[in-house]
Amino acid sequence: MSSAGDPYRRTLIILSAVAALAILSSTMSKNPALPLLAEDLGASDSLIGLISAISPIPGILISAFAGAYSDRWGRQRIITFSLLIFATAPFMYLFVTEPWQLIPVRFYHGFATAMFMPVAMAAVADRYPKETRGEKMALYSSATMAGRFVAPFLGGTLLYMANFESVYIVCAATGLLALGMSLIIPWGDGGAEPKARGHGKGTIASLRGVVRDRRIMVTSSAEGLQYYAMGAFEAFVPIYALSLGFNGLEIGAIMGIQVVSMLVSKPLMGKFSDRRGREPGIVVGLLVGAFAIVAMAQVEDLYLLAGVSVLFGVSVASVTASTSALVSELAGTSAHGSAIGVLSSVMDIGHSAGPLMTGIVVGLVSFQLGFGIAGVLLLVGALLFATLVWKGPAHAAPARP
């Protein structure tokens, strides 16, 4: 994670560790526990989709504003507030007795990632130049992937050996640990963000400039479509695997190995994007993801399903290793938080729509059609991005001052 002479090494390491713990807590609350808990409480397929779609909605509502606010007033206070939610939300699952009660719990829990993810990513972007930004942002993101990796394996094991309550107690413990570790992040390390605090355009003006940039919005839409497929994957691969007779441990392994593939491949994709441009990885990732998500519902063997899960994880890594770096460069240094916040809001629209729409289609027709629609949307996203943003295989858009 470090490099020789990197003055921000300690900040990056601690922030990455905090992110890993926070995302471990958040991911384990839903993967694979949430759809299985909802089904255990008697929820229908469409209600499972709705429950899974709720937590990204706060991101749609506030991620852009959180990012823009942090551009003007600093990253630290937003990150701390989000970690308070990571630490408190898991306790609420312990009191759920009806499936509909998961809806307000998930809504509250969603505010944590809605604020934390874009602001923490902007904090990394602040500290590194364009030549290494993709790699450093991907390394930070891989730390969050480490949390995502552990979550389904640990959650699946706890479900297999104990019960749902044990899952959410562990979620609470890791959330509290993340909050505690955040107190030692060296925010005054001389990065661009602490120097710029309280300066620049107002929150609304900054957001308006970002939203008017077609390239930022098309790039954000590409990530939104990627997360539509991700939402479908997270909510309904566990249900699909359960319908095939797999147990909680096997389902956790299928979900976890997808995260392993993201964890391993994302730094490599980030370094590739620094050297070859952001656009190729986005287009190829969307195309590979389209194939993988369609194939997901066509296989019934445990090992084949795990293999397709790996392929899907690599496709997600390829897209997301480039999108955050690209929008930060398009927006310029003074609007890192605004651009990544808008990206996060659009991502959450996709992440929310994915399980919701897939749940309706699966309930009415089949897993095959639900996942097939996600694949078609990824193909459309690749075509639009290549047409409207990609100017050539070595192109890298210049950052605005």
- Give the mean model confidence (pLDDT) for residues 80-88: 97
Is residue 340 in some structural domain? yes
Rounded to an integer, what distance in angstroms lies between the CA atom of residue 277 and that of residue 274? 6
Q: What is the pLDDT of residues 179-223, one digit of tens each?
A: 999 999 998 876 665 444 444 556 787 788 888 899 999 999 999
The residue behind tokens 């909050």 is 179
pLDDT of res. 308: 96
- Rounded distance, CA 390 to CA 310, Å? 27
Q: For residue 397, is it within any domain?
A: no
Provide the residue range defining the domain that includes 215. 9-388
Residue 372, number of CB atoms within 10 A of its CB: 19
pLDDT, residue 202, reads: 67
Residue 20, domain CATH: 1.20.1250.20
Please indicate, yes or no, if residue 109 is contained in any of the structural domains.
Answer: yes
Asked whether residue 374 carries a pLDDT value surpassing 50, the answer given is yes
Which residues have C-beta within 8 Å of that of residue 248, sequence separation ≥ 6? 32, 36, 156, 159, 160
State how far the Cα of 160 lies from the Cα of 248, in Å rounded to an integer: 6
Could you give the number of structural domains in the chain?
A: 1
Region 317-323 average pLDDT: 93
- Report field, pTM of the whole predicted structure over 0.85: no
The pLDDT of residue 369: 96
Q: What angle do CA 143, 147, 153 make, to 5 degrees?
A: 140
Choose between 396 and 141: higher pLDDT.
141
Rounded to whole angstroms, the Cα distance separating 114 from 62 reads 7
Report whether 333 contacts 327 (CB < 8 A).
Answer: no
- Joined tokens for residue 401: 């001052």
- Who contacts 129 (Cβ-Cβ below 8 Å, separation ≥6)? none
Mean pLDDT within 27-32: 90
Is residue 395 one of the residues assigned to a domain? no
By the 10 Å C-beta count (0-12 exposed, 13-18 middle, 19+ buried), 243 is classed as exposed
Residues 6+ apart with CB under 8 A from 159: 32, 33, 36, 167, 248, 252
Sequence-separated (6 or more) residues with CB below 8 Å from residue 394: 276, 277
Residue 61 located in a structural domain: yes
